[in-house]
Amino acid sequence: MFYILYYICYYKFMNKQSPYYTFAQYIRKNFNTKAFRVSIDASFGCRENCIYCEEHYRKPSDESIKKQIDKLIPYLKSRYKAKDFYLYFQKGTNTDADPEKLKKIYDSALSYRDFLGFIVGTRPDYMDKEKVEVINSYTDKYDTWIEYGLQSANNKTLKLINRNHTYEDFLKALQLTEGTDIKITVHLILGLPGEKSEDMINTVKKISKLPIKGVKFHHLYILKDTPLYKMYKKGNYTPIDYETYKKVLMESLQYLDKEVVVHRIMGEDYSDRFVGPKWNMSKNYIINDIKKSMIKKNYYQGKKHNRR
């Protein structure tokens, strides 16, 4: 019982003393509540074929958006004591439709309950002025974000992983939201083929100069039957190890402006298609280990922001 209480107290302490600006802190600061993302699959899918992605192997959800919401919200309330929610269009390219159809889908999904926020995950090459206008129309009522999957600012890497867009495409998409109230999150992957630690850090240095409001970090998964899995089986790809990931992440966070929200510092996958990397540590352990290590080294978000 003592150890359980100790862990709970320690976890709460680390959340309050975080050396980087977490999404939970952002929510408390701006809305004084506890909010969680309600991740839905609107069956947009993705027409591209990134070497690591399971989108071409994944069956779209056979559940309606309403059914997904009705299932997730009670779980989040029970498991995490959530009070408010962000509707999160996560899986697939959630702007791959004409503006009128997008608005109809978004309106319908947002009507199912009183959401605090609205997040649209997409690719930078599937955005245009009209789609931005649709998403911006929700900013009066919702805390509205677009999450762009950039993954890397290195065009050589983007070509290697078959992203089919460039860093310049991302910059063009970012320009489309200038003058709007939409907040931009950049999704990055650490451990991509061919990238060294300095390449990953350079990506963060580049985006730290841009008018973004959030960053999401993810380590690269190997999933069965993907092109990346075949590379791995042939010995042409070695997944990033935890110590390297930790070192790169801790260094990278220091280059971000202190007001940029760090939505996530790692992902997790429990599917039977997951191959690695297997670090044999829980997500909470990893998050707390990174926070503790940053505090010990006097690393904190924003420390090197002006040393780009």
For the ranges 10-24, 43-57, 135-149, 170-184, the lowest mean pLDDT is seen at 10-24
For the ranges 7-11, 38-42, 282-286, the lowest mean pLDDT is seen at 7-11
Q: Are 305 and 260 in contact (CB under 8 A)?
A: no
What is the CATH code for 18-296? Answer: 3.20.20.70
Q: Are 5 and 51 in contact (CB under 8 A)?
A: no
pTM of this structure: 0.92
Question: Taking residues 29-47, what's their average pLDDT?
Answer: 95
Confidence of residue 27 (pLDDT cuts 50, 70, 90): very high
Handedness of CA 254, 258, 261, 263 (dihedral sign): positive
- Tokens of residue 160, six digits: 């290697």
Taking every pair of Cα atoms in the chain, the longest distance, rounded to a whole number of angstroms, is 57
The alpha carbon of 128 is separated from its chain's Cα centroid by a whole number of angstroms, namely: 21
Condensed to tens digits (0 to 9), the pLDDT of residues 209-230 reads 999 999 999 999 999 999 999 9
Give the C-alpha distances (Å, rounded to integers) separating 14 from 20, 25, 80.
11, 12, 17
Handedness of CA 134, 139, 140, 143 (dihedral sign): positive
Please list the residues that pair with 8 across neighbouring strands. Answer: none
Q: First vs last Cα of the chain: how many Å apart? A: 47
Pairing of strands 84-89, 214-219: unpaired
The helix or strand, by DSSP H or E, that contains position 134, with its residue range, turns out to be helix 129-136
State how far the Cα of 26 lies from the Cα of 216, in Å rounded to an integer: 14
DSSP structure string for 196-228: -HHHHHHHHHHHTTS---EEEEEEPPEETTSHH
Nearest to 166 by CA among 178, 182, 148, 179: 148
Condensed to tens digits (0 to 9), the pLDDT of residues 10-26 reads 444 445 689 999 999 99
Nearest to 264 by CA among 13, 17, 36: 36
State how far the Cα of 258 lies from the Cα of 299, in Å rounded to an integer: 12
Q: Collapse the DSSP code of 67 into the 3-class scheme (helix H, G, I; strand E, B; otherwise coil) and give the result.
A: helix
Condensed to tens digits (0 to 9), the pLDDT of residues 167-192 reads 999 999 999 999 999 999 999 999 99
